[in-house]
Amino acid sequence: MIEGANHTSSELLAIMSARILRDGQVVFAGVGVPLLAATLAQRLHAPGLTILFEGGVLGPFVVPGELPPSTNEQRCTRKANMILPITDVLLLLQRGYVDVGFMGGAQIDKYGNLNSSYIGDPSNPKIRLPGTGGGNDISSLTQMIVTMKHERRRFVEKVDFVTSPGFLDGGTSRAEAGLPAGGMFKVVTDLAILGFDPVTREMVVEALHPGVTLNEVRDNTSFDIKANGIETTESPTDRELSVLQEFDPDRIYTA
């Protein structure tokens, strides 16, 4: 694990994810780490980043210290550019106006398929999870960033249920299934940043966080994961941590 770190795993996830976002993008973000990452990016290097909430809010102003607990909460609407019915939000996705989708999940497999529905046998699941919401639409129509803890039980050979499609069975299977656009872009974990091979669409290690080894990533992954020109990420800066703590002073999302 990361030695001598002065930050939590959730802070690391938010910071590393924020660095991926670019000025001028429209990002479909949920609450928690995705929202923290988007607001951090806005503050530090992407002032023109537009946040879109599933509840219908486009371009809100998120007040530091007053993070909304849900995408349907009134704090999501402050100084928003527009408030739409949820069906119109999904139409924005279908029309190609959203660049990046941002979510987590309980399981992910080597092709980036996400499960947030259930764990175990569908007829008698061990655990029932929240389900799709707009997760299927988002992952079908945007470039996806996924954030999650890196554990063997989460990084599996095959997810128990495909709630949000990644590259399905790899290769060209996503396009052949009728999803020619979008797909998994990056997976950000507390150990590494992962991408996807452009031909096979299998998950690959692109960068390790300081103090993490490739063997550690492999030990925490249930499938054979390849490495692709591994780099080392820069540790979170004091400025990044300071802004995060300003947005989440009680560490509701970053404990």
pLDDT for residue 63: 85
- Give pLDDT tens digits for 61-80: 888 888 887 777 778 888 88
9-247: CATH architecture: 3-Layer(aba) Sandwich (3.40)
Given the residues 54, 202, 206, 240, select the one marked as catalytic. Answer: 54
SS3 44: helix
pTM of the model: 0.92
Look at 1 and 254; give whichever has higher pLDDT. 254
- Give pLDDT tens digits for 124-139: 889 998 888 888 999 9
* Catalytic residue flag (residue 54): yes
Of 49, 70, 72, 69, nearest to 61 (Cα)? 49
Beta bridge partners of 119: 127
Cα torsion angle, 55, 27, 12, 134, sign: positive
Rounded Cα gap, residues 160 and 171, in angstroms: 20
Give domain limits for the chain: 9-247
| Average pLDDT of span 165-193 | 96
Q: Strands 192-196 and 143-147: what pairing? A: unpaired
- Which phi and psi (to 5°) does residue 92 adopt? -60, -40
